[in-house]
Chain A
Amino acid sequence: MIARKKKTTIFTAVFLCLVLLLGVAGCGPKESADTEDGKTVIKIGTVGPLSGTAAAYGTNVLRGIEVAVDEANASGELGDYVLKIVSEDTEGDWSKAANAFQKLVDIDKVNVIIGAVLSSETAAGGDIIKDAKVPTISPSSTAVDLTKGNPYLFRNCLSDEVQAIQLAEYAVKELGLSKFAILYTNNDYGKSLKDAFEAKANELAEVVAVEVFMDGDENFKSQLTSIKEKNPDSLYIAGYYTEAGKIAQQAKELGMNVQLLGADGLCNVVLLQIGGEAVEGAYATSGFYPDDPTPAVQNFVNAYKEKYNEDPDMFAAQAYDATRIVIEAIKSKGPSSEEIREGIAATKDFPGITGKTSIDEEGDTIKDVIILKVENGKFIRAR
């Protein structure tokens, strides 16, 4: 029994040491000086899922930010300032995102935050950054009214409403489609796309079937069989590329002959890899077209490919633009949180790689929607 007690004591001691050690390790680097090579550091915080099921989106966002920051630091366009990224993982869980936001504003004392990625994460952080008065621009949180009533929260992404409406109009008027089916993913992104598309398509033509799936689902045959029964001439997929590729594949296996339509969530090469021939001819709205010949886009695509050996997608491009908007704000107003906020709010006709961008008084984005088409296993610009 004495031996046992001794063991317990030793264990407790070891454990406490471990905790202390981690505490020290955790606190150490935070106290780093605010200058680097004689330049003043401007800290950019990022929040997003780097692990868990949504990790692919968060990782691409972080990469887009890194490309923009590296570029700005290398070019010296910020003069006496240098940008530094402090990135925080959320595991895709909004309550952990709230911790990440709080840490960035209190401990790291960042000047500005780019994030979060998922709408629920941004919603959880909205009040925190408003209280702390740290401007935040999300590159991908599309939920309706997210930025409303929060002068510190902005976003740089296509509005779900606008892209769904524009595609519905294009589908009816240009493609001559009339019987729509909708398959949407059960999250804020899918739901707001579905609501807007359903309303507009019902106004112009007819929606015959609406079905839903969960993020990460792999088998869609049940929903597709129900849709097939209704004989639509087109299928609007309100979701992301991985699921969309599988949906296209399985629809083809079921012998469905429908025109595939979608939103910016589809625009990733993974869609082409998974979907193969099944996604041939699909149309999708997008803010970003990687084969756009303008130098700004090509510079980004090349820099990204060089760094990560992968093609950038919409998430990366929008994150890059969001970072550029922040950099422009620093250049025009100054590096303090309040100055950056003013700068972002004043953004007008910013020539981004995802199109000409303005920020409205609610912190929402106004930008052009382009429509891409899959042809010969590549995205090409249809409009």
Chain B
Amino acid sequence: MISPYYLQLIILVGINTIMALSLNLIIGYTGQLSIGHAAFMSLGAYCSALLTLHFNLPFIVSLLGGALFAAFFGILIGIPTLKLKGDYLAIATLGFGEIVRIVCLNLEITGGAVGLRGIPKKTTLLWVVLAVLITAFILNRIIKSRIGRALIAIREDETAADAMGINSTYYKILCFGVGAFFAGLGGGLFAHYMRFLHPKSFDFMKSIEQLCMVVLGGLGNMWGSFVGATILTVVPEMLRSVADLRLLIYGAVLILMMRVRPQGILGESPANGGFKNNSYSQWIQTRLKKSLRKRSGSDKT
């Protein structure tokens, strides 16, 4: 029998993997820098918890309800903001994330500053494993499809993608909607595991943590998201024995990691907006373009 503490860690690794996978679609594959991902998680968490609490819906229905609610907001926010590029998009998503947090803190229905208590515990290891597998499967299908190639083309060069006839706005909104959907799913699982919700855990730092998972694991690599989520969930727990130095080490590791291996543990692609004259990133870009060509070629046959 596995101890509940390790079980909890495994479940959190699973939920964080879903978060990292969905963020990876937005940042790693489409190249849109979003630092408000925790907001989608909180929307899904609150919505599914409220569906369970007020309407006593079956777990699967409230999970999907929460995920759809988050996806709706993903699209709603996506439409105006996705015209923005690079850092400006990042800042807009940051602003959106903070607004969601403040609204949750002040509404009656979310329990406001007191938090939402008494959510029934419905998330089990089985649910989480299933959710991770389904998320990974669907995202993988998307990435390997026409849509995925369009997304990668947008990441590599949006202007060129537009010129090639890819409707970049449409694809970017689609990617935001899908990303937000799975973030909402992760939030729903989180709410029904923790049995308690408070806006404090969905702040700017949470979004940053999720961003770190993606970047640490490797942008544009699905396994990387899993590795990143595992490390950033488990290592802080291991470091509990050096309580004082825990966050100090965390900060230092982030800096070191970026020096030694900026593309992440399993990452191979340069991030959006890298300097073009770097030989290494050039090498990767050509490789990617080759594989892009190869993949589109193999589809035709």
Interface residues of A (CB under 8 A from B): 11-12, 15, 19, 22-23, 25-26, 28-30, 50-51, 87-89, 91-95, 98-100, 102-103, 105-107, 119-120, 123-124, 126-127, 131-132, 143-144, 186-188, 190-192
CB distance from A381 to the nearest CB of B (A): 31
Query: Measured between C-beta atoms, what is the minimum distance from B107 to chain A in Å?
Result: 12
| Interface status of B106 (Cβ within 8 A of chain A) | yes
The interface residues of chain A lying within 8 Å CB-to-CB of B56 are none
CB pair B239–A26 under 8 Å, yes or no, is yes
Q: Identify B235's interface contact among A22, A29, A98, A143, CB under 8 A.
A: A22
**CB pair A93 B240 closer than 8 Å:** no
Query: B113 near A186 (CB under 8 angstroms)?
Result: yes
Complex Cα–Cα for A100 and B8 (A): 11
B195 within 8 A of A: yes
Give Cα A143 to B112, complex, Å.
Answer: 12
Contact across chains for A120 and B3 when beta carbons are under 8 A apart: no
Q: Which of B122-130, B154-162, B169-177, B196-204 contacts A (4 or more CB under 8 A)?
A: B196-204
Establish whether residues B195 and A99, one from each chain, have CB atoms under 8 Å apart when the complex forms.
no
Partner of B194, one of A19, A50, A95, A144: A95
A-contacting residues, B215-264, CB 8 Å: 231, 235, 237-244, 246-247, 260-261
Picked from B106, B194, B237, the residue with its CB within 8 Å of the CB of A103 is B237
B contact residues, total (Cβ < 8 Å): 37
In order of increasing CB-CB distance, the 5 nearest A-B pairs are A106-B5, A26-B238, A120-B198, A95-B201, A188-B114
Contact present for A191 and B114 (CB under 8 Å): yes
Task: Tell me, yes or no, whether B290 is within 8 Å of chain A by CB.
Answer: no
- Is B121 part of the contact surface with A, judged by Cβ < 8 Å? yes
Report the Cα distance A123→B195, complex, angstroms.
Answer: 9
* Residue B26 CB within 8 A of the other chain: no
The smallest C-beta distance from A11 to any residue of chain B, in angstroms, reads 6
A29 lies within 8 A of B241 (CB): yes
Residues from chain A with Cβ under 8 Å of B240 in the complex = 26, 88-89, 100, 103
A159 to chain B, nearest CB (A): 15
A77 CA to B28 CA, complexed, in Å: 61
A-B contact pairs, 13 of them (CB 8 A): A51-B247, A94-B115, A95-B194, A99-B8, A100-B240, A103-B237, A105-B4, A106-B5, A124-B195, A188-B114, A188-B115, A191-B114, A192-B114
Is B238 a contact of A25 with CB atoms below 8 Å? yes
Known: A51-B247, A144-B114, A191-B112. A107 touches B8 (CB 8 A): no
Q: Which B residues are CB-close (under 8 A) to A19?
A: 231, 235, 238
- Whether B113 pairs with A188 at a CB distance below 8 angstroms is yes
> Which of B4, B113, B235, B260 has the most chain A CB within a 10 Å cutoff?
B113
* CB neighbours of B112 from chain A (8 A): 191
Chain B residue at minimal CB-CB distance from A91: B247
Which residues in A have their C-beta under 8 angstroms from that of B293? none
Complex: how many Å from CA A30 to CA B240?
A: 11
In this assembly, does B211 line the interface, its C-beta being within 8 Å of a C-beta of chain A? Answer: no
Chain A contacts of B195 at CB under 8 A?
124, 127
Complex: chain B residue closest to A11, CB-CB? B261
A19 to chain B, nearest CB (A): 7
CA distance A100 to B241 in the complex (A): 12
On whether the beta carbons of A22 and B115 are closer than 8 Å, the reply is no
Residue of A nearest to B230 (CB): A19
Contact residues in B for A124 (Cβ distance below 8 Å)? 194-196, 198
Distance of A23 Cα from B230 Cα, bound (Å): 13
In angstroms, Cα B113 to Cα A41, docked, is: 39
Whether A106 touches B3, Cβ cut-off 8 Å, given contacts A22-B239, A26-B238, A120-B200, is yes
Known contacts A19-B235, A23-B238, A93-B201; is-contact A99 B12 (Cβ 8 Å): yes
Residue B212 at the A interface, CB < 8 A? no
B265 touches A107 (CB 8 A): no
Which chain B residues border A131 with CB–CB below 8 Å?
Answer: 4
Q: Is the CB of A127 within 8 A of B201?
A: no
CB distance from B2 to the nearest CB of A (A): 10
Is B105 among interface residues, defined by CB-CB distance under 8 A? yes
Q: How far is the CA of A192 from the CA of B111 in the complex (A)?
A: 12
8 Å CB contact of A119 from B114, B239, B260, B261: B114
